[in-house]
Structure 1
Amino acid sequence: MAQASDQGRGTVDHAATMRNTYELINAGDIDGFGDLLAADFVEHQGGPGYPPTKEGTLDFFRDLAGAFPDWHMAVQDLIAGSDKTVARVRVTGTQRGEFIGIPPTGGSADVELIDIMRFDSAGLVCEHWGVADMLRLMQQLGVMPAAAPA
């Protein structure tokens, strides 16, 4: 596990890089986020209709920023390993534009996701796997009925 104190000894702090990806996305700096992705980046759970490539991923986040201009990703937990990091992230935002074919609803989103990022030897993100609570998101946007209380 890379530690911040190890940086001076030539190791890369993958946890800091992963946090930085969220900070750049939150700031709307999709190009800056792209600088952290390897040229041969592979997205394993991308948005529908987007190619599983670096450019497809950047296009998805550009569209996401247009649909949810106040989108915010907050890291709740982060576990770093030798070449992979895992984060539990709380995502909030208000849908003001079209999102994956859904016209603007004005609905607020507050969902959790799990991200796994793998890093190459240069410290760039080369693979991503993610699981988001899309059912809850669709319910919050009002495009699917909410579950009946238990």
Structure 2
Amino acid sequence: MMHRRVMLNVTEDNKALVRRFIDAYNTRNLELFDELVAPGYLDHTHQQEGRESFKTLFELAFEGFPDWHEDITDMIAEGDKVWVCVKATGTHTGEWNLFGVSLPPTGKKVAMMMVFIWRIANGKLVEGWEVDSEVDFLKTIGVLEYTEKGEKIFPEG
């Protein structure tokens, strides 16, 4: 029984850490990254390593989408991992650097569902993965366009 209680505390602590992390970037308090993210953080989605590289992704995103915000819709913790689903919203009102290409502001509002999976060790995020609806997001701001065939398959709603 004691082992189960300890595991419940660990998973609840891990969920609390993820909530603090999401709140930190929602409030633009990136200084908290030093407390919440391990120095050698491994970002599998963007294929980079290091807390500073991870922080830079957020800084670039906030330049392009100053009002970017994520609301937690669901969270599951098991062992050393936390899965969190968020609804992200923002308006493309600033220059945004995407893979080395600067995109001028479009004024378009975007909304997307995202799932993050984080591994936590010693009270810090040490590893992460992201799954999102990036195609719709990029289409909304005009980076991607459907072909004629694509428009027939995916008509504007």
Assess same fold via TM > 0.5.
Answer: yes
Whether contact under 8 Å (2:71, 2:86) holds in the other structure is yes
Instruction: Say which of 51, 54, 71 aligns to 1:74.
Output: 71
Whether contact under 8 Å (1:68, 1:93) holds in the other structure is yes
Whether contact under 8 Å (2:45, 2:130) holds in the other structure is yes
CA distance in 1, matches of 2:45, 2:75: 19
Query: Mapping of 1:40-79 within 5 angstroms?
Result: 40-46=40-46, 51-79=48-76
Aligned to 1:114: 115
Aligned to 2:143: 143
Query: Offset of 1:12 from its aligned partner?
Result: 6.5
TM-score, length basis structure 2 = 0.81
TM-score, length basis structure 1 = 0.84
Aligned to 2:15: 15
Query: Residue 85 of structure 2: SS of its match in structure 1?
Result: strand
Q: Deviations over 1:75-112 (max 9, x none)?
A: 11100112000011110000111221322111111001
State which structure, 1 or 2, has the greater radius of gyration over its C-alpha atoms. 2
RMSD (Å), alpha carbons: 2.1
Q: Structure 2: state its 5+ residue gaps.
A: 147-153
Q: Structure 1: state its 5+ residue gaps.
A: none
Query: Offset of 1:19 from its aligned partner?
Result: 1.1
CA distance in 1, matches of 2:14, 2:79: 8
Count of residues in correspondence between the two structures? 141
Query: Offset of 1:133 from its aligned partner?
Result: 1.0
Q: Deviations over 1:92-150 (max 9, x none)?
A: 00011122132211111100111000011x11000001112110101221332363258
Deviating above 2 A after TM superposition, structure 1's stretches of 4 or more consecutive aligned residues are: 50-53, 142-147
Query: Residue 45 of structure 1: SS of its match in structure 2?
Result: coil
Query: Residue 49 of structure 2: SS of its match in structure 1?
Result: coil
Aligned to 1:31: 31
2:131 is the alignment partner of 1:131? yes
- More strand, by proportion: 2
Query: Offset of 1:52 from its aligned partner?
Result: 3.1
